[in-house]
Structure 1
Amino acid sequence: MIVSFLQFFAIYTMPYTDNSLFYALPVAFFITVLLIPTLAPLAMRIGLTDAPCNRRLHASETPLVGGITIFIGLMFAILILDTSLSGYRALFAGSALLLLVGVLDDFHELSARFRFFYQVLAALLMTQWGGIAITDLGSLLGTESLPLGIWSVPFTVFCVVGVINAVNMIDGMDGLSGSIMLLTALLLALLAFSVNQIDSASILSLFAASCAAFLVFNLRTHLRKRIHVFLGDAGSMMGGYILCWFLIDLGQEPAQAYAPVTALWLFAIPIIDTVATMIGRVMRKKSPFSADRTHLHHLLLSSGLSVTTTLLVILVAIVLLASVGILAENHAIPEWIMTVAFLTISFIYLSVSNKHKLD
């Protein structure tokens, strides 16, 4: 069913692309599907697993191979695309770097400082080699534009590291991070197609196909009963990096598909949840990077919702907030209004969630 939907997606966008995407989509999906049963037993033997603990929701050791299989499936499928990928070398290099660091972290938990160093390095690959950077914040203050000048690179690095950690930190429940990556990639692919950015749209579509394949073994499906796998830090960091590349690229000239503030609405839930969680930890005099059970999905679960219902609630919220951003873009709502609206929603969630946590 998932493959059929993705092929329908390729057919629908065929006037803007070529047949290679139609053939590459099932390759991305099935390579990932085939690799998971192959690598999962190996991961169990070598200790690349996530063991249960008091802040985990699973009851047994689970292989951390989701990110590895998504990346390999994506890379195989990309080779089928009938297009030049030279402009994406930094994307592939940065993704591979974070995948490797993530695997090391999954084997033996690395220090936050070590992970932070390589996240910054990957961000610099994006800006200095890939040429992807936030150079203009748009009309946030009601002016025509707000160029960043010499602050472009440091601000971009800050945002990239933030998005990577947002995906990593929210990865605490079956299907959550994988579904967020899938939904965001599909939304970005459609927006890329709308401005004729075919290469970006194709890569995003293949990434979505690989994420969909991973979810077959992460959500409650028939295959998951036999093989259950997680993304691991490798998958969440790599996936966050890929999404951030296109969130920035499509929000800036010359490939601009939306105003910079719209990117916040497209990725609203991970951003709001991460910022609120970190502020809450600081308010409780803890490290903002300490592990706990204060994320949005933890709060929903503690309110009595099931895992499936919690996942659906969060995904619906993601779609609704993204839709608000896209509709505002299409109806030319001033960017400063959308900025104020986003900050207002963030403040309300921060106030409500931290009151619940303190209670």
Structure 2
Amino acid sequence: MFFLETAISLFIGAFLLTYLTIPKIISVVEYKRLMDNPNKRSSHKLGTPTLGGVSFFYVLIFALFFINGRDVFDEGMYIIPGLTILFIVGLKDDLVVISPGAKLLSQVFAIVFILANPSFTIHSLNGFLNINEIPYYLYLIIGGFMMITIINSYNLIDGIDGLASVVGIVILVIYTTIFYLTEEYFFALLAIALNASLMAFLGFNLSSDKKIFMGDTGSLIVGFIISILTLKFLALRPVVYTDLPFLLENAPLIAISILIVPLFDTARVFAIRIANKKGPFSPDRNHTHHVLIDYWGLTHKQASFIIGCFNLLFVTLFVVLGSTAKNLGMVIMLVSVVIFLGYIFFKYNYNFTTLKQKILLKRKVDRLKTKAKEKGPKKKKPRNPGKDESEEDREL
């Protein structure tokens, strides 16, 4: 009962703090003209305020203050330095673009504080693929790589209105449930605080007159917290926790299913860029959400909702399977699903130039069909191909 009262108070406080301060952030950003101006890759057409992630930072700092004492190994004191590093780097990247190398280096410094805390040490994979005890140095390698992957994967899906927030909300709801069932109340409350902030932010992100983006400031912070929760989830021991609806030996596969959207999108985009002989961090419009919008004609809200629902259904499926199935069968299932998704999204060449040509061709065909159906006594004026082509180029 005490946890429930604390959780409700924390949720309401975090939600209101975000909801009431974001309009102030928008006013300052507009006054200082720190807008995110659109370019050829952007999904928005007008300059939009960014720095919405600033609200995530101070909400989490307040939350860590109020839930202090529930962390057995003083995890809060280790989270704050890493959180501050990524906040400063994300803020600078939103104002003055920094190189991927500098951003990656800052992430390494941030995760060092987490890996140094004994609460996050992965002592065993609990029999996953017959792997039990693992040495400390291997934990550092696995944990560090995993955290950097999650942070950057989440950062990369922040490309359309609502997507990063919706996916973040789904992930945090799942982790809240897991840590509540395992009585890890500190991490459950941390997830609740960030979730409340994301829900308040989502309304502004989808708004037409008070729109704001979370920017790298927000996506790095949210990705960092999600990576911490994932690391803690994998560090749970089966001897202590028995109330989970799945076998703890399947925890690595459950974690992958929880993070399937950012992980799959990142793997897919990196593969396309490397195949096209480009750097993995080179910008383009090959993300899954861009495909849904550019090629399948969905709106931002529709694409975000569909991806969020897929994430939730995918996790539900693996939780059900993980309650009885052995890891080898689940690995086969996971690989099969990834191959199927890969086939769907690799079936077409989603290169931006090719996509643009397909859209132009489709519009020309539709226009010719429309003109063929028109009937009238007046003679039609000859079409100026050069003018039509330039107009459609400007539309894209």
- Contact preservation (8 Å) 1:20, 1:80: no
Q: Do structure 1's residue 32 and structure 2's residue 18 form an aligned pair? A: yes
Q: Which has the larger radius of gyration?
A: 2
Q: What is the CA-CA distance between 1:164 and the residue it aligns to?
A: 0.5
- Contact preservation (8 Å) 1:49, 1:61: yes
SS in 2 for 1:145: strand
Q: Do structure 1's residue 103 and structure 2's residue 91 form an aligned pair? A: yes
User: Partner of 2:173 in structure 1?
Assistant: 186
Match of 1:68 among 40, 54, 67: 54
Tell me how far apart the structure 1 counterparts of residues 68 and 274 of structure 2 sit (CA, whole Å): 49
User: Partner of 2:277 in structure 1?
Assistant: 285
**CA 1:146 to 1:96, structure 2 compared with 1: closer, same or farther past 3 Å?**
same
Please give the per-residue CA displacement for 1:217-269, whole angstroms capped at 9, x wherever unaligned.
012xxxx2331110100110110010110111022234766422210011111
Q: TM-score, normalised by structure 2?
A: 0.80
Tell me how far apart the structure 2 counterparts of residues 131 and 64 of structure 1 sit (CA, whole Å): 35
Tell me how far apart the structure 1 counterparts of residues 45 and 179 of structure 2 sit (CA, whole Å): 40
**CA 1:148 to 1:319, structure 2 compared with 1: closer, same or farther past 3 Å?**
farther
Tell me how far apart the structure 2 counterparts of residues 95 and 164 of structure 1 sit (CA, whole Å): 12
Tell me how far apart the structure 2 counterparts of residues 48 and 129 of structure 1 sit (CA, whole Å): 37
- Contact preservation (8 Å) 2:30, 2:49: yes
Tell me how far apart the structure 2 counterparts of residues 146 and 354 of structure 1 sit (CA, whole Å): 38
Match of 1:242 among 217, 225, 239: 225
Match of 1:275 among 250, 258, 267: 267
Match of 1:307 among 300, 307, 310: 300
Match of 2:29 among 27, 43, 48: 43
Q: Do structure 1's residue 163 and structure 2's residue 150 form an aligned pair? A: yes
- Contact preservation (8 Å) 1:20, 1:82: no
User: Partner of 1:204 in structure 2?
Assistant: 191
Please give the per-residue CA displacement for 1:66-94, whole angstroms capped at 9, x wherever unaligned.
21112212332443347444322222221
Tell me how far apart the structure 2 counterparts of residues 35 and 53 of structure 1 sit (CA, whole Å): 28
CA RMSD of aligned residues (A): 2.0
Match of 2:79 among 91, 99, 102: 91
Q: Do structure 1's residue 334 and structure 2's residue 326 form an aligned pair? A: yes
**CA 1:299 to 1:225, structure 2 compared with 1: closer, same or farther past 3 Å?**
closer
Amino acid at match of 1:90: Y
User: Partner of 1:318 in structure 2?
Assistant: 311
Amino acid at match of 2:101: R
SS in 2 for 1:357: coil
- Residues 85-94 or 183-192, more deviating: 85-94
**CA 1:46 to 1:130, structure 2 compared with 1: closer, same or farther past 3 Å?**
farther
SS in 1 for 2:290: helix
SS in 2 for 1:289: coil
Instruction: Map 1:218-237 onto structure 2 (within 5 A).
Output: 218-219=205-206, 224-237=207-220
User: Partner of 2:65 in structure 1?
Assistant: 79
Q: What is the CA-CA distance between 1:334 and the residue it aligns to?
A: 0.9
Structure 1 gaps of 5+ residues are: 1-13
Amino acid at match of 1:102: G
Q: What is the CA-CA distance between 1:151 and the residue it aligns to?
A: 1.7
**CA 1:130 to 1:174, structure 2 compared with 1: closer, same or farther past 3 Å?**
farther
Give the count of matched residue pairs: 339
SS in 2 for 1:123: helix
SS in 1 for 2:108: helix
Q: What is the CA-CA distance between 1:148 and the residue it aligns to?
A: 5.1
SS in 2 for 1:287: coil
